[in-house]
Amino acid sequence: MTDVAAVETIDLGRRYHTKWGLRDCSLSVPEGSITGLVGPNGAGKSTLLRLAAGLSRPTKGTVSIFGQIVRPNSTEHLRRLGYFDQLRPLYPGLRVDETLRLGEKLNQQWDNGAALELLNELEVPLTERVSRLSLGQQALVALSLCIGKRPDLLLLDEPVASLDPLARRQLLETLLATVAERGTTVFLSSHIISELEPVCDHLIILSSSAVRISGSTEELLADHRILVGPRGTPLRGVEVISVRDAERQSTLLVRGRPPDLDPAWRILQPDLDEVVLAYLSDRIAGDRSETSDSPASTRRSPS
C-alpha cells in the first residue's frame, strides 16, 4: 500500500435543493483495501459514490481518486474506475454477449475472460436479451462490465441488494477472487452488515448525511466494548455510543477503554454488527458519559 489513498474526500458536500445529501465529509479509502460503506437508506451512500465516480458535482469540497481531484466531465479518472449503480443502466434491447462486446469496444483495456467468468459461474444466459433477465441477473451483467474493465478501483453501490442469498455469496466469492489477483481497491455500500464483516477490512458508517466513524474493522472492534450493569450508574472515561435500558439493567456500547469498573458490570466484546447498529441507533446517551461523581469510577486511581 502506498500513501496515496484510492479515494479521498475533503469537506465534501452535496446539496439537493435545500437538503444536504452529504455534508462535511472527510474520509479516505486506503489503496488495496476493501472498504464497506454502511448506513440506513437516505444516509448519503449513493451520493458519496456518485461524487467519487464524477457523476455528480460537489456543492462543497473535493473528492480525489488516487491523488487526482475528480472533475465532472473529465474522462481521465474514468479509465481507472468501475462504477456499479443500483439502477443498472444497461441497454435492455441488447443481448448479454452484445453488451459485453459493447464494453470491449468502449474501453481501452478489456478482459473478456474476467467478465465472462462471473456470468458463467452464475449461469447467466449469454444469448438472452437484457430486458428478459431477472433483476439479479441484470445486476450481474452490470457488475461483469465493471470487472471486464480491469479497473484499479471498484465503486459498487449495493451490489448484492437484488440477489438471493446463494447468488449473493457466489457474487462475493467471484468478486473477491478477481480483486485478489490484482489488488483492486473496492469501495462498496450495503446494508447487509453481517455479510460484509469477513469481506471488508475498512468500514465507514454514514448516517443523516454525515460520517459517524471510519477506520479499519480491526480497530473498530478493538476500540469498542459492551458494558452490562446496573441501570443509572454514571460512567467516566468512555464515550457512550448507545444505551439500552431494562428495568434494572443497562446495556451500553462504549468507545474507549472502560475504566476499572465495579464488579457488578460485565464487559463484552461486540461484533461488527453491534458496533454499526449502535452508531445507527438514535438513542444516544447525551451527557451520561460526562457525569463526574460516579461510583463506577471511584476505584480508578488518578494518575
Partner 1 sequence: MSGEPTLQFRLDRKSGVPAYRQVVDQVRQALRLGILRPGDQLPTVRDVVKQIAINPNTVHRAYRDLEAQGLTEGRPGSGTYIRRSLSKVPQEQPQLQRQLERWMRAARAAGLGDEAIAALVAEAAETSKKEEL
CA 207, 211, 32: angle at the middle one, nearest 5?
Answer: 120
Q: Report the 10 Å Cβ neighbour count for 10.
A: 15
Q: Write down the residue that cell numbers 500500500 correspond to.
A: 1
**Does the footprint of partner 1 cover residue 177 (CB under 8 A)?**
yes
Shortest distance, CB of residue 295 to partner 1, whole angstroms?
31
Q: Which is nearer to partner 1, 169 or 231 (CB)?
A: 169
**Does the footprint of partner 1 cover residue 169 (CB under 8 A)?**
yes
Shortest distance, CB of residue 218 to partner 1, whole angstroms?
8
Stretch that binds partner 1, among 7-15, 31-39, 72-80, 283-291 (CB under 8 A): 31-39
Tell which positions 178-197 bind partner 1, by CB under 8 A.
Answer: 179-181, 194, 197
227, 267 Cβ separation under 8 angstroms: yes
From the number of C-beta atoms within 10 Å of its C-beta (0-12, 13-18, 19+), residue 118 rates as buried
Q: Which residue from 174, 189, 209, 250 is in contact with partner 1, where contact means CB under 8 A?
A: 174
**Does the footprint of partner 1 cover residue 198 (CB under 8 A)?**
yes
**Does the footprint of partner 1 cover residue 135 (CB under 8 A)?**
no
**Does the footprint of partner 1 cover residue 262 (CB under 8 A)?**
no
Q: Which is nearer to partner 1, 169 or 257 (CB)?
A: 169
Side-chain half-sphere of 59: how many Cα atoms within 13 Å?
15
What is the distance between the terminal CA atoms of the chain, rounded to a whole angstrom? 39
